[in-house]
Structure 1
Amino acid sequence: MDKLSFLGLIVAISAIAIGYSLEGGVVSALFNGPALIIVLGGTLGAVLLQTSSRVFSKTLKISHWVFFPPNHNIDDAIEQVKRWSHKARQEGYLALENDALSHPDPYAAKGLSLLVDGVSEQQLRDTLEIDLMLERERLLEVSRVYEAMGGYSPTIGILGAVLGLIQAMAFITEPEKLGAGVATAFIATIYGVGLANILFLPMANKLKQQIEEKMLYHEMLAEGIIAMSQGENPANIELKLEAYRFERPTLADE
C-alpha cells in the first residue's frame, strides 16, 4: 500500500475544507449532485470518445497501482538471478526450464525460456529490449488517460458553470433561487479544477512513477539474463546489477 497516496489525497481535501470553513463557509454547501454529475460524466464521456476499449480496459485493471502498487523487490530479484546463474553454470541452461515455466512474471519467464532454447546473445538482447519498449508504451497509455481527464475536467467544469448560470437566470426575479443557481455554477467550476489538480493529474504522475519502477525491474532482469547467456560469473553479475538498487547503502549505514 502506498501510504503517501492516501495521505496526499486526505491532506489536499482537508486543507480545502478547513480553509473554506475558516473563511466562514459551510463545507456541506460544496456538495452538489448535479454539478458532480456534469463534471464527472462529461469528463468520462470525453475520455471514452478518445480512448480505445483496449486502453480503457487496461486503465481499469492497473489504476489501483496508485494506492496499491505492485511489489518489485530489486534485492530479491538480484538474489534470484544469482541462483539462476549458479544453477546454469553447474547444470546447464536446460536446468532453468522449470524456473521459466513456473515464474509468475511473464517477462522473466520469456527471458529464461529464450535462454533455455539456446538463442544467440544478440537475439536474446533484441527480443528483451523490444518487449521492454512495447510494455512501457502500453502501460504509459494508461497514464495518458488520466492526463486527458485532467485536461478535460476544468473545461467541463466551466461548461457546468455556464449551464448553472443559464438555469439561474430563469429565476432572475426570485433572489433565493437565483443565489442557489449561481452557487451551483461556481461549484461545478470547483469540481472541474479540483478533480483535475487533486486527483486526475496526480494519479497520472504516480502511475508513471510506478510504471518506470516496473520497467527498471524488468531491465535489471534482462541484464541479468543476458549476462548469464554470456557465461559471466555470478559474483560479477551481482556487481553489475547493484546499480539497479533503489537505495544504496552509505558509509554511515555500514
Structure 2
Amino acid sequence: MLQLMHEYELSVSGVCFRYKKSSSFQLQDINLHIGTGVHGLLGPNGAGKTTLMRILAGIKRPTSGQLALGEISSEDANFRSSWQRKVGYLPQDAHWFGSFTVSDFLEYFARLRRVPRTAIVAKIDDLLAKFDLLECRNGKLSDLSGGQLQRAMICQALVHDPDFLILDEPTATLDPLQRIQLKSLIKELGKSRIVLFSTHLIEDIVECADSVIVLARGETLWDGGPCALQDIGRAVSGEDAVSATQLAEAGFVELLSRT
C-alpha cells in the first residue's frame, strides 16, 4: 500500500540557474518553503517553470543556492542519488517506447528507483488499482487513450512512493472529463505528500491548489493562497459576481503588470 503521510518540508534557498554560455540568469534567487499539500506553479512562457522543476527533480544542478527535503540537503556528498529516491517527476510531454506494456513500464521504473524486488508486484498492483488502470496492465503504452497514458505516467512517478511529486503541465493534453478526473487524483495525492504542479490553466489552480507560486522572468513574483490571488483580482476588477477562476485570472494579470 502507498504510505499514508510524508512529513517533510521542501526548502529552496537562493537558487539561481544560468546556462554556461549565457550571461544572464534563467532563474534568480528562488526561495520556497512548502509542505504536504498541492502547490500550483504559474507563470508566462519563459518564466522558468520547467527549469525550476527540473532542478527540483534533481535533473539539473543549480548554479547556486541550496535545496533541502527533510534531512536531505544539496550540501550532502551523495545528494543527487538520495534526492532522486525521494522525488517523483512527470515531465511535460513525456515520451517512452510505445512497445512497453503498462506493467513492464512500471516495473522498469521501480527497478530503476531501487524498489525492493519483493515489493514491486504489490506496488504496481496498488497503483494500477488506485489509478483505474488494472484492465490496461498488459496493454501497450501506444494503445492507451490520452487520459490512460497520463495516469500511467503519474504511476511511474509514484512507484517508489516519493515524498515530493512534481507534475509539469499534467492536464495540458487532456479532454475536459479527463482533466476533472486527474484533478481529483492530484488533490487526493496532496493529502499525503508534497505535490507541485505547473499549469497555464488557472482553473486548475483554483480547483486543486492549497497555495500558488507565481514566477516571472526567472524570479518568484508572488506566493500565497488561491483566495488571496482572487482578492487581488477583486481589488482591481471591482467584480464580486464573477467566478473564482475569473478573479484569480485578474489577480494573475495584475501581478504580471507589476513587473
State the TM-score, normalizing by the size of structure 2: 0.21
Q: Whose strand fraction is larger, Structure 1's or Structure 2's?
A: 2
Larger helix share, 1 or 2? 1
Greater relative contact order (CA < 8 Å, ≥ 6 in sequence): 1
- The structure that has the greater radius of gyration is 1
